[in-house]
Amino acid sequence: MRKGSIAFSLFWLSAAWLILALVGTAFLLTDLYSRALDSNLISQLRFNVDTIVSATLDSRDPNFADIAVPDSRFNRAATGWYWVIRDDAGDILSTSGSAVGMLMPEIEAPFDVENYRSAILADEAGNRLRAIERATTVNQRPLHIMVTGNLDDILRSAGDFRGQTLIVLGAVGVALAIMSAIVARLALRPIGRLGTAIEKVREGEAETITGSYPREIAPLAEEVNELLRSNTQIIERARNAVGNLAHGLKTPLAVMRNEASAAKDNPLAKVVTSESNKMTQLVTTYLDRARIAARTSVVGKKADATTTMLRLVRVMEKLNKNVTIAFKRPDASLPWFRGDEGDLEEMAGNLLDNACKWSGGVVAVTMFAERTPSQQFLLIRIEDDGPGLTEEEAQKVLRRGVRLDEKTPGSGLGLDIVKELVDVYGGSLQLRRSVLGGVLAELKLPAAKVGGLVRS
Amino acid sequence: MRILVIEDDTNLNRQVKEALTEGGYAVDVAFDGEEGHFLGDTEPYDAVVLDIGLPQMDGLSVLEEWRRAGKSMPVLLLTARDRWSDKVQGIDAGADDYLAKPFHMEELLARLRALVRRAAGHASNEITAGPVRLDVKAGKVTVDGQAIKLTSHELRLLSYLMHHKGKVVSRTELTEHLYDQDFDRDSNTIEVFVGRLRKKLPETVIHTVRGLGYQILED
């Protein structure tokens, strides 16, 4: 559990509340218990007072020493359990065995309507005492009969009780804290699963979020899926619109250009030719750009680079009968491309087209993976045995919008679109000299975390 | 050489037809997929220029139908959709080459020449038969290095025979491949042109195979 997480806050909130509640409960219980002990003591002392009063009444003599209270603590010295009979003037007429030789304190408070009074006193031994005194009359002689019990005994057992309560409640608290931590984890686990599912979509391992989620977060998963769907639809629509626009514009442009170039010497034809050429360039540039813009938000796609390259090689071999394309088929462990299949076709296709166009008859395609600790890349190398490029020319070609072969009609290197796409995917394109003699173009593209294992 | 052009844009259709006619081809045109499919199915063409976006029946379907029916003439696809997936789709449907709009007419001609040449089994733009040399690209004929002048009909006839040298070509086949649909086909005109050609070329180049047709022998 990290700080700042829901589980962390949940755990500490419930733990703090538990500690407060349990400590409070311990003190409340102890208080109730000691009150119960005290009232029990008071009623016991009252009973003793009443017993002594009735014994005195029976014998009619307060000095009658043989008053039997059935509790041995009244006979042992300094126990805190005493009884004393005094006369009106406060002189002691008789005491329990335990009080012999002790100076007994007196209660200051007035008697209540039932002729009782009560107080907390202390004896010479330092015991705190709960004292009950009753005023009565024997043979027309007013007497004060006081009985005391040891309050420290009660306080001690209340203290013991508090200790035990704290231990028990502490154990309960620990158990509850563990449970709340487990509950927080369990309750939050679907959120973790949802996060993993969304990551899979981003990685291109899944197209939508799958699995069942609890009612609270199921709408979230549904919304994310809906978002992905509408995203795909928007992109699809944009692509279709771009395609339609292309078709709509390119045919009239072709007509204008052809018509004008058929009448070369006409000044109007010259203007039409140069302007329609500009328009063609603009249309191409902006259509490419629109296509790239439409695809930057494509998430959750991956493509098997091997089948894509096989397809491209097949097509290029058919189109260039005089070129042999050596394609070393990589093994099935080659990771997939993380992105749109059409984009991969666009990048590799243009490079392969260039290689075939310039080659003297041999083109080679190799593919492999490159792994860094943080990421995995897919590398596609396309080389030819053509004239090749100098270092300087290669730099020039890689700059945007530069063509080396502007004089040859319809043979732009098509590298602009390749470069833009490579940038979109965060890959790289390098041009070097090939051992075959011509250009070696190396595409470095992000690989999907998990490739598909099935390859038709 | 007889070419079929299927393109729904009337202006582009006309331009391609004009350029091809000027390049020495006999040209038939169609403006929609169904008409184009029918023509390609029933007439013998040496190559087809096929637009993908067509009314009635799209270009790829036309092409697939032909290939299913065993038609093997070379097909050059014209399209505004120049994504690689479109190219792959077109080639997989049976196209032999692919040209994105807007294109330069010279490129269309060059690609078409290459297709026709390849279909006839020739590797270069020059075809020779004995002392006769035909430059397919320039439309020029030389005999022992000396340029000779031919009319466009004579050139078409010689070009067809040279492309198919070694093979006996019947008069009907020649009529079918040298003239477009609307031409008044009279096989006697073939004999007239062969006669004129023979006068301009060495006597032994074009052989008559009695009852079957004409032949230019392999070297």
Structure tokens at A124: 């010479």
Cα atoms found within 13 Å of the Cα of residue B218, Cβ hemisphere only? 4
B104/A253 touch (CB, cutoff 8 Å), yes or no: no
Flag if B102 and A276 touch (Cβ within 8 Å).
yes
Cα A394 to its chain centre, rounded Å, is 49
Portion 346-365 of A in contact with B at CB < 8 A? 346, 349-350
Q: A252 and chain B: CB distance < 8 Å anywhere?
A: yes
Q: Cα distance from A7 to chain B (closest Cα, Å)?
A: 49
Largest CA distance in chain B: 53
Question: Do A71 and A149 sit in the same domain of this protein?
Answer: yes
Residue A409 near chain B (CB below 8 Å): yes
| Count of structural domains within chain A | 3
Query: For residue A213, is it within any domain?
Result: no
Closest alpha carbon to B202 in B159, B126, B164, B146 = B146
Q: Where does a domain end: A116, A133, A156?
A: A156
> How crowded is the C-beta side of B7, counted as CA atoms within 13 Å?
27
Closest CA–CA distance from residue B67 to any residue of chain A (Å): 16
Q: Are residues A311 and A416 in the same domain?
A: yes
Provide the shortest C-alpha distance from residue A221 to chain B (in Å).
Answer: 33
Q: Are strands B97-100 and A428-433 parallel, antiparallel or unpaired?
A: unpaired
Answer yes or no: are the C-beta atoms of A83 and A69 closer than 8 Å: yes
**Residue among A250, A309, A443 with most chain B CBs within 10 A, to mutate:** A250
| Residues of chain B positioned with their CB less than 8 A from the CB of A272 | none
B99 → chain A, closest CA residue: A410
Q: Which of A258, A275, A276 to mutate to test the interface with B (most CBs of B within 10 A)?
A: A258
CB nearest to A342's CB, from B18, B85, B123: B85
The label of the residue with tokens 């009063």 reads: A53
Name the closest residue on chain A to residue B77, using Cα atoms.
A319
Q: What is the mean pLDDT of residues A412-427?
A: 79
Q: Is A251 on the interface with B (CB under 8 A)?
A: yes
Residue A36 confidence (pLDDT)? 93
Same domain? For A324 and A392 the reply is: yes
pLDDT in tens, A211-220: 888 888 888 8
Check residue B73 and give its pLDDT.
93
Q: Is residue A285 domain-shared with residue A376, that is, in the same domain? A: no
The percentage of residues in chain A with a pLDDT greater than 70, rounded to a whole number, is 90
Q: Does the pLDDT at position A410 exceed 50?
A: no
Of B81, B98, B105, the CB nearest to A258: B105
Tell me, which fold does domain B126-216 have in CATH?
A: Arc Repressor Mutant, subunit A (1.10.10)
Let me know: does A389 contact A413? Beta carbons within 8 Å: no
Whether A196 maps to a domain, the answer reads no
pLDDT over threshold 50, residue A454 = no
Mean pLDDT for A276-287 is 82
DSSP characters for B5-31? EE-S-HHHHHHHHHHHHHTT-EEEEES
Rounded distance between C-alpha atoms, residue A65 and residue A77, angstroms: 17
Pairs of CB atoms within 8 A across A/B: 81
Rounded CA gap, A12 and A16, in Å? 6
Q: Cβ B102–A319 below 8 Å, yes or no? A: no
Question: Closest Cα of chain B to A269: distance in Å?
Answer: 15
| Burial of B119 per CB tally in 10 Å (0-12, 13-18, 19+) | middle
Same domain, A310 and A276: no
**Residues A297-316, mean pLDDT to the nearest whole number:** 83
Q: Which residues of B touch A261 (CB under 8 A)?
A: 104-105
User: Nearest Cβ partner of B15 from A258, A345, A409?
Assistant: A258
Contacts of B158 (CB under 8 A, 6+ apart): B132, B134, B141, B150, B197, B201
Q: Crossing angle of helices A218-262/B10-22, nearest 10°?
A: 50
Q: How many CA atoms lie within 13 A of B192 on its CB side?
A: 8
Question: Residue B163: which residues within 8 A CB-CB, separation 6 or more?
Answer: B1, B116, B117, B120, B122, B127
Residues of A in contact with B82 (CB under 8 A): 246
Residue A108 lies in a domain: yes
Last residue of a domain, which of A90, A123, A156? A156
Chain B residues touching chain A at CB-CB below 8 Å: 9, 11-12, 15, 18-19, 53, 79-85, 87-88, 91-92, 96-98, 100-107, 118, 123
- The predicted pLDDT at position A296 comes to 54
Judge if A152 and A258 occupy the same domain.
Answer: no
Domain that includes residue A65, residue range: 6-156
Distance from CA of B189 to the nearest CA of A (A): 31
A300 and A202 Cβ atoms separated by less than 8 Å = yes
The per-residue pLDDT for range A57-87, each reduced to its tens digit, is: 887 776 665 677 778 888 888 888 998 888 8
Return the axis-axis angle of helices A6-59 and A151-203, rounded to nearest 10°: 160
User: For residue A456, what pLDDT is reported?
Assistant: 37
Q: Is residue A78 part of a domain?
A: yes
DSSP for B141-200, written as a single string: EEETTEEE---HHHHHHHHHHHHTTTS-B-HHHHHHHHS-TTS---HHHHHHHHHHHHHH
Q: Is the pLDDT of residue A378 over 50?
A: yes
Q: CA B28 to CA B179: how far, in whole Å?
A: 9
pLDDT number for residue A352: 92
- Same domain as A352, residue A274: no
Residue B53 to residue A322, Cβ atoms within 8 A: no
Q: Residue B96: closest CA among chain A residues belongs to which residue?
A: A319
pLDDT tens profile A226-276 = 998 898 888 778 777 877 777 688 888 888 888 888 787 888 888 888 888
Helix, strand, coil shares of chain B as percentages rounded to 5? 40, 20, 35
Averaged pLDDT for residues A286-295: 70
Q: Angle at Cα A366 formed by Cα A363 and Cα A367, nearest 5°?
A: 150
CA atoms within 13 A on the CB side of A357: 13
Residue of B nearest to A345 (CA): B84
- pLDDT of A409 reads 38
Question: Which pLDDT belongs to residue A1?
Answer: 58
Per-residue pLDDT for A368 more than 80?
Answer: yes
For residue B218 the two structure tokens come to: 């392999």
Nearest by CB: B102 against A280, A319, A346 = A280
Q: Where is the domain boundary, A274, A295, A316?
A: A295
Residue A147 pLDDT class (50, 70, 90 cuts): very high
Instruction: Kindly report the nearest CA distance between residue B24 and chain A, in angstroms.
Output: 17
Q: What is the domain-level CATH number for residue A81?
A: 3.30.450
* From B9, B19, B82, residue closest to A251, measured CB to CB: B9
Q: pLDDT tier at A2 (50, 70, 90 boundaries)?
A: low
Please tell me the CATH superfamily of domain B2-120, with its number.
Response regulator (3.40.50.2300)
DSSP B73: -
Mutate to test the interface with B, among A236, A315, A320 (most CBs of B within 10 A): A315
pLDDT at A380 over 90: yes
pLDDT value of residue A363: 93
- What pLDDT is recorded for position A210? 84
**Which of B101, B105, B111, B122 should we substitute to test contact with A (largest number of A Cβ atoms within 10 Å)?**
B101
Give the number of other CB atoms < 10 A from CB of residue A385: 20
- Report the C-alpha gap between A355 and A313 in whole angstroms: 11
Spans of chain B, pLDDT less than 70: 185-187
State how far residue A328 is from chain B, nearest Cα, in angstroms. 20
**A312 and A291 both lie in a single domain:** no
* 3-class SS of residue B57: coil
Q: What ipTM, to 2 d.p.?
A: 0.74
Six-digit token pair at A188? Answer: 């939050």
Interchain contact, A250 vs B101, CB within 8 Å? yes
Clarify whether residues A17 and A150 are in a common domain: yes
CB contacts of A414 in chain B (<8 Å) are: none
By CA distance, what is B17's nearest residue in A? A258
Per-residue pLDDT at A9: 85
Helix (H) or strand (E) holding B76: strand B75-79
Angle, alpha carbons A270-A272-A277 (nearest 5°): 100
* Domain spans in chain B, listed from the N-terminal domain onward: 2-120, 126-216
